[in-house]
Structure formats: C-alpha cells, structure tokens
C-alpha cells in the first residue's frame, strides 16, 4: 500500500504492523511468525495435494497396509514431532516476549478507561509523577515497565510494532514490558471489546532518542504556559466559565478535574480524543460541540450550546497548550 499522507489520522497514529517490529518482544514474535507461516504453507500444500490426489486422481486401490503406515506416520508421528518442536520453541520464547521485570526501566502507570488512556510517568528523582493522556513517549533502547489497570471495564493495551497485548482488568494490575529498538511513531489500540466506542480508542507511542525523550518528559512535567493572544485568553475564560475544570486538569490553572484527560499539553499531542480526530482547532470545535457524533456514548457531555465565538476561542486556547 502507498504511504498515507502525513496528516491523516492513520499517519499521525503511526505504524501498526505485527510484521514490521520496532521492539524486542515484537521482533521475537515476528521471527516466530514467519517460520510458522512458512511451515504452515508447506504442510497445507502437502496435505491438500495428497487429499486431492486421493480423491480425484488416485489410481484404484492402493495397498491398504502401506496406507496404514501413512496414517501412523503422516497422521500421528510426524505431527507429534513437529508439534513438540513448535511447542518447545514457544515455551523457550516466553521469557523473551514476556520477560522478568528489568532493572532501570522507565516506569509508567497506564489506565484504560471508556474510551481513552491515562498514564503517569513515575518520577525517577522523587518528584511527583508526570500525568499524560492518549500519547506515550519512550526512549529507544531502554526497557519500559507499564503497570496496567482499569477503573471501569476490561481493556487491552496493544502496540503491535512493540509487543503483544496485555489486558487491563478492573481489580487487578497487569504488567507489560516494552523495549523499543528503533525510533518512530507507533500506533496503539484497545484490543478488548469495551463498549460502544471500542473502535475509537487508539493512542500513539513516540519512540525517541534518549535526550529527546528527556526533553519531552520535562516538557510534559511543566505547567501550562498562560495564553498569549487575546482570543486564547478568552478561550481560557470560557474553559473556566463552563466548568470544564471539574473534569479536566490544566496544571498551572485552577482546573484540576480528575475525571477526563489531563489537558495541560493537549495541543502537543498528535491526535484528539484518543485517536478519534487529528489535532487542529477545527477538530476541537467538532469534538466539544458534538462529542457523541465523534465518539458514541463517550462520558463527556456535548457543549453544542456554546456560542460560536466562544467555541472558536476555546479551541484556540486548547490548541495552544503545547
């Protein structure tokens, strides 16, 4: 397929192929996969060739004693040996694809919610954790330990290019280890059916050089900068007036809600609403005024009653929170 234009949602969310791995675990699985596909093709050709020969081209009456050997050999012995080998390989791979928790890893707590992602980077120097939403960044070459939970229903955390998936189960904490091996943007998605908008629950993982990642994290940890333009200042007032802060936090302002995504740096994200929209001022307008058109049953109430000017100002403000 031709590469998509850069500003489409798919391009913003990044690569998402199991067979183009960018992480250790995914690479191990991809290698296993190619061998399995090759072996399966071979077996399929032999077995189906044999059965077509037997059913449509076979000369009459093969010797039954010899055919019995075929049943024993082809039906029982060879499959047993092949399966034993494949099983052993699978078991041997397990510690690579689901490894013991590494030392010195980036530690992130990730929550899946209907239908977005909340994450907190655990601080390494005793400062408070850095909250982010719907977008993660990881340093290349260093393992990251993600502790996965869910406060509502079961979700599943999946970044095909980096690793297999891991469910997020209410009442439990599961762990996944990611170890990116090349930089890039990689798409993640919820893989467990989680209600009406299960299809609209994606996120991007930005894999960066360590220095760039440090800068990214520092940026995310910082409070929001006050709006510069008058229009954006009006947008900030609208934000306060309509009580958006009851659900959303913008660090550095009064808004400290904990129900929806932290918006401190929402303008810096590649997409809006967990991969449902690109991130332009128009998209903010669409999302805020018509939430349920974009994402059925989402918990945020639509604010279509806002005057057009207020809405545009609000969009401008949010878009500027980089």
Q: Which one among 38, 102, 170, 210 touches another protein, defined by CB under 8 A?
A: 170
Q: Does position 307 bind another protein by CB under 8 A?
A: no
Whether 311 contacts 210, CB under 8 Å: no
Q: Does position 101 bind another protein by CB under 8 A?
A: yes
In degrees, rounded to 5, the angle at the alpha carbon of residue 83 between the alpha carbons of residues 81 and 84 is 65
Q: Does position 254 bind another protein by CB under 8 A?
A: no
Q: Does position 91 bind another protein by CB under 8 A?
A: yes
Distance CA 120, CA 136 (A): 10
Q: Does position 105 bind another protein by CB under 8 A?
A: no
| CB of residue 273 to another protein, shortest distance in Å | 13
Q: Does position 33 bind another protein by CB under 8 A?
A: yes
Encode 91-130: b = buried (16+ Cβ within 10 Å), e = exposed.
Answer: eeeeeebeeeeeeeebbbbbbbbbbbbbbbbeeeeeeeeb
Count the site residues for another protein by CB under 8 A. 94
Q: Does position 160 bind another protein by CB under 8 A?
A: yes
Q: Which one among 123, 124, 196, 241 touches another protein, defined by CB under 8 A?
A: 196
Q: Does position 103 bind another protein by CB under 8 A?
A: no
Q: Does position 183 bind another protein by CB under 8 A?
A: no
Whether 261 contacts 190, CB under 8 Å: no
Q: Could you tell me where the beta strands, DSSP code E, fall in 38-173? A: 106-113, 116-121, 130-133, 135-139, 144-149, 155-158, 166-168
Q: Could you tell me where the beta strands, DSSP code E, fall in 30-173? A: 106-113, 116-121, 130-133, 135-139, 144-149, 155-158, 166-168
| CB of residue 304 to another protein, shortest distance in Å | 19
Q: Does position 10 bind another protein by CB under 8 A?
A: yes
Q: Which one among 187, 248, 269, 270 touches another protein, defined by CB under 8 A?
A: 187
* Residue entry with tokens 């239908």: 115
With contacts defined by CB under 8 A, name the span among 38-46, 118-126, 134-142, 305-313 that binds another protein. 38-46
Q: Does position 63 bind another protein by CB under 8 A?
A: yes
Q: Does position 62 bind another protein by CB under 8 A?
A: yes
Question: Which residue from 45, 46, 42 is spatially nearest to 34, judged by alpha carbons?
Answer: 42
* Residue entry with tokens 């009064």: 254
Q: Does position 104 bind another protein by CB under 8 A?
A: no
- Cβ proximity to another protein: between 149 and 240 the closer is 149
With contacts defined by CB under 8 A, name the span among 163-171, 204-212, 224-232, 241-249 that binds another protein. 163-171
Identify the burial level of 141 via C-beta atoms within 10 angstroms of its C-beta, where 0-12 means exposed, 13-18 middle and 19 or more buried.
middle
| CB of residue 287 to another protein, shortest distance in Å | 15
- Cβ proximity to another protein: between 107 and 233 the closer is 107
The residues in 274-303 that bind another protein, with binding defined as CB under 8 A, are 296-297
Question: Which residue from 4, 30, 5, 36 is spatially nearest to 17, judged by alpha carbons?
Answer: 30
Q: Does position 129 bind another protein by CB under 8 A?
A: no
- Cβ proximity to another protein: between 87 and 123 the closer is 87
What is the gyration radius of the CA atoms in the chain, in angstroms? 25
Task: For residue 134, give the DSSP letter.
Answer: S
Q: Does position 90 bind another protein by CB under 8 A?
A: yes
| CB of residue 161 to another protein, shortest distance in Å | 8
């Amino acid at each position: 397929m031709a590469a998509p234009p850069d500003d489409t949602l798919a391009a913003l969310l990044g690569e998402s192929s199991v067979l183009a791995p960018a992480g250790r675990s995914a690479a191990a699985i991809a290698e296993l996969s190619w061998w399995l596909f090759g072996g399966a093709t071979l077996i399929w050709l032999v077995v189906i060739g044999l059965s077509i020969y037997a059913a449509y081209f076979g000369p009459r009456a093969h010797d039954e004693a010899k055919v019995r050997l075929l049943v024993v050999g082809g039906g029982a012995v060879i499959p047993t040996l092949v399966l034993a080998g494949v099983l052993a390989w699978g078991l041997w791979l397990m510690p690579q694809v689901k490894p013991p928790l590494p030392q010195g890893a980036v530690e992130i707590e990730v929550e899946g919610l209907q239908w977005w992602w909340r994450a907190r980077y655990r601080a390494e120097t005793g400062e408070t954790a850095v909250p982010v939403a719907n977008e993660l960044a990881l340093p290349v070459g260093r393992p990251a330990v993600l502790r996965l939970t869910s406060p509502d229903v079961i979700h599943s955390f999946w970044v095909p290019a980096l690793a297999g998936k891991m469910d997020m189960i209410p009442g439990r904490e599961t762990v996944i280890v990611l170890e990116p091996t090349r930089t890039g943007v990689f798409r993640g998605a919820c893989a467990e059916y989680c209600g009406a908008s299960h299809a609209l629950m994606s996120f991007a993982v930005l894999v960066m050089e360590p220095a760039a990642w440090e800068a990214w994290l520092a940026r995310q940890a910082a409070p929001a900068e006050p709006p510069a333009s008058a229009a954006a200042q009006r947008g900030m007032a609208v934000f306060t007036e309509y009580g958006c802060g009851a659900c959303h936090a913008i660090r550095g302002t009064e808004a400290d809600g904990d129900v929806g995504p932290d918006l401190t740096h929402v303008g810096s994200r590649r997409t809006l609403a967990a991969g449902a929209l690109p991130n332009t001022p128009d998209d903010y307008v669409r999302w805020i005024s018509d939430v349920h058109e974009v994402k059925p049953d989402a918990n945020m109430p639509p604010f279509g009653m806002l005057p057009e000017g207020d809405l545009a100002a609000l969009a401008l403000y949010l878009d500027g929170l980089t």
